[in-house]
Amino acid sequence: MVRSILVKPVITEKMTLLQEQKNQYAFEVDINASKVAIKNAIQGKFNVKVDSIRTVTTKGKRKSQFTKKGRYEGFRPARKRAIVTLAKDNKIDLFETSA
């Protein structure tokens, strides 16, 4: 069940700064996942304590493609991101560095 809720971590410059300053991490999650399910999935997978969760749902962009046979139109899929704030002493090692 954890695998179906958490799709992948979001690693950008902005999220790296939030990890260092505010102990916040972002994950791309299933579009139908609730905050409670996201919290349980993160606590179960990474063994950390979650303080709060904020979610953002973005609609898919409209895209068109021109080919020899004509014009194709469609949409990119909609996405949902969860920004998770962890408790004070908890960390998630996304890169799993081992010495």
CA distance 87 to 99: 26
**For residue 36, is it within any domain?**
yes
**For residue 97, is it within any domain?**
no
pLDDT digits (tens, 9 = 90+) for 54-71: 999 999 999 998 989 899
Report pTM.
0.82
**For residue 81, is it within any domain?**
yes
Number of domains in the chain: 1
Q: What angle do CA 81, 26, 4 make, to 5 degrees?
A: 60
CA distance 46 to 44: 6
Q: Are 3 and 14 in contact (CB under 8 A)?
A: no
For 58, the domain range is: 2-63+71-86
Half-sphere exposure of 68 (CA within 13 A, CB side): 0
**For residue 92, is it within any domain?**
no
Confidence band (pLDDT; 50, 70, 90) for 95? confident
